[in-house]
């Protein structure tokens, strides 16, 4: 484990303790200079002497116990995680001193998202003995998708009553990516395409074709046992409890194109906040829908338009690799202002393919848009909500 020194250190003055130091010093001076030597003057001088002495001793102790720099290790973090999920951040710190322990050590984790710097709750460690290490742990929950950064750690050591506080800042600058939140769909999504194939006039492009081998993956409950590969399974480390099955694509399965409506009105619009909320929900719903359609053996293609006008097209043939690619793409997608781009996408997709078109819409209207070769099934926000089983926040 590689230990790094602090990027910068500083010694700051504790203002509250400094004020107490001055007041106690004045009390001692006033008590000594009092000609009457009244009981009040004696008590004032005694109390001032005790406070003054304690502050002085605490300052000396803080200086001795923090004369050496603290070192820490970079936290080990996954580069990607899902929004609304919790993940731990553990930072290991070490006291390299051969003489003194570090006393009353505090630490704050500094993160950044969308250019906003966030500080974690402060963690406390009473003593870090010499030539020893300790750990600080935080549980972080990122509430929205997008770029996220663990900026660094700011630690401090002092002594109760000390005039000086030693601060250590460690720069991590670890870029992370918050993927869209994971949701689960209920069984109603399985009937989503019922009747839509006849409505669109969709026919298989090659009904007499045989199944095509596309790859292998680990066995999952519900897989056809006849697709298990004995040769590849014997190579797995946990054979016979870990098996490998062959995957095939069936050209007779329905082709489905999922189009994501990314329209959000510009700043100042009355319903902008509502549309932003629906925009985030529809992104997670689109990913869950693509995943479920793949499980139902449909050939799926995702199409959407991002803020710069670029059209995103991701064919999803191998869910184990294509769904993570879709999540990474949608983690960074920005909304558009008008629906003209979405209209062009729908027209083009209806012209180049006879696939079923599903529009993940942010509009409440349940109407179906008629195209040349069929129709677009619009999944409204209300319909999306009825198909969601639960949000997953592991």
Question: How far from 164 is each of 27, 29, 58, 63, 299, CA to CA, in Å?
Answer: 22, 23, 9, 8, 66
Number of domains in the chain: 4
* Residues 111 and 136 both lie in one domain: yes
- What is the structure's pLDDT at 188? 81
Is the pLDDT assigned to residue 359 strictly greater than 50? yes
* Residues 194 and 157 both lie in one domain: no
Tell which of 65, 83, 108 closes a domain: 65
pLDDT in tens, 363-391: 876 554 544 445 688 889 998 988 888 65
| Spatial separation of the C-alpha atoms in residues 288 and 387, rounded to whole Å | 10
User: Is residue 4 included in any domain, yes or no?
Assistant: no
* Residues 245 and 331 both lie in one domain: no
Tell which of 249, 275, 298 closes a domain: 249
pLDDT band at 205 (very low <50, low <70, confident <90, very high): very low
| Spatial separation of the C-alpha atoms in residues 233 and 375, rounded to whole Å | 45
pLDDT in tens, 271-320: 888 999 999 999 999 999 999 998 888 889 999 998 888 999 999 988 88
User: Is residue 5 included in any domain, yes or no?
Assistant: no
Q: Which residue range forms the structural domain that includes residue 384?
A: 182-208+253-392
- What is the structure's pLDDT at 39? 76
User: Is residue 244 included in any domain, yes or no?
Assistant: yes
Cβ atoms within 10 Å of 296's Cβ, excluding its own: 14
* Residues 100 and 227 both lie in one domain: no
What percentage of the chain has pLDDT greater than the value 90?
26
User: Is residue 289 included in any domain, yes or no?
Assistant: yes
Do residues 321 and 246 make contact, with C-beta atoms less than 8 angstroms apart?
Answer: no
Model-wide pTM > 0.85 = no
* Residues 235 and 315 both lie in one domain: no
SS3 at position 279: helix
CA 315-369-326 angle, 5° bins: 20
- Phi, psi torsion values for 109, nearest 5 degrees: -90, 130
User: Is residue 7 included in any domain, yes or no?
Assistant: no
* Residues 314 and 239 both lie in one domain: no
User: Is residue 265 included in any domain, yes or no?
Assistant: yes
């Amino acid at each position: 484990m590689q230990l790094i020194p602090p990027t910068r250190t500083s010694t700051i003055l504790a203002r509250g303790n400094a004020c107490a130091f001055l007041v106690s010093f004045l009390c001692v001076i006033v008590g000594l200079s009092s000609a009457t030597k009244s009981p009040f003057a004696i008590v004032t001088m005694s109390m001032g002497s005790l406070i003054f002495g304690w502050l002085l001793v605490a300052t000396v102790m803080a200086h001795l116990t923090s004369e050496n720099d603290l070192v820490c290790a970079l936290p080990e973090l996954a580069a990607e995680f899902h929004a609304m999920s919790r993940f731990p951040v553990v930072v290991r710190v070490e006291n390299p001193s051969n003489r003194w322990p570090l006393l009353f050590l505090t630490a704050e984790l500094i993160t950044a998202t969308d250019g906003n710097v966030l500080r974690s709750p402060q963690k406390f460690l009473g003593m870090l003995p010499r030539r020893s290490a300790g750990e600080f742990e935080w549980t972080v929950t990122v509430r929205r998708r997008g770029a996220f950064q663990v900026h660094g750690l700011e630690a401090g050591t002092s002594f109760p009553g000390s005039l000086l506080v030693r601060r250590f800042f460690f720069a991590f600058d670890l870029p992370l990516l918050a993927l869209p939140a994971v949701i689960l769909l209920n069984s109603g999504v399985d009937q989503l395409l019922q009747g839509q194939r006849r409505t669109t006039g969709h026919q298989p492009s090659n009904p007499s074709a045989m199944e095509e081998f596309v790859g292998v993956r680990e066995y999952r409950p519900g897989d056809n046992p006849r697709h298990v590969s004995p040769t590849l399974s014997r190579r797995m480390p946990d054979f016979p409890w870990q098996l490998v099955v062959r995957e095939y694509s069936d050209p007779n399965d329905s082709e489905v194109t999922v189009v994501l409506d990314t329209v959000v009105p510009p700043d100042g619009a009355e319903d902008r906040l509502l549309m932003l909320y629906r925009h985030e929900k529809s992104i997670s719903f689109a990913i869950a829908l693509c995943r479920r359609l793949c499980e139902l053996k449909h050939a799926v293609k995702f199409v959407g338009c991002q803020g710069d006008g670029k059209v995103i097209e991701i064919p999803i043939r191998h869910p184990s690799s294509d769904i993570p690619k879709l999540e990474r793409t949608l983690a960074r997608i920005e909304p558009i202002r008008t629906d003209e781009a979405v209209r062009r996408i729908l027209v083009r997709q209806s012209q180049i393919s006879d696939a079923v078109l599903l529009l993940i819409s942010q509009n409440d209207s349940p109407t179906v848009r008629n195209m040349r070769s069929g129709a677009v099934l619009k999944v409204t926000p209300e319909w999306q909500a009825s198909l969601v089983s639960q949000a997953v926040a592991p």
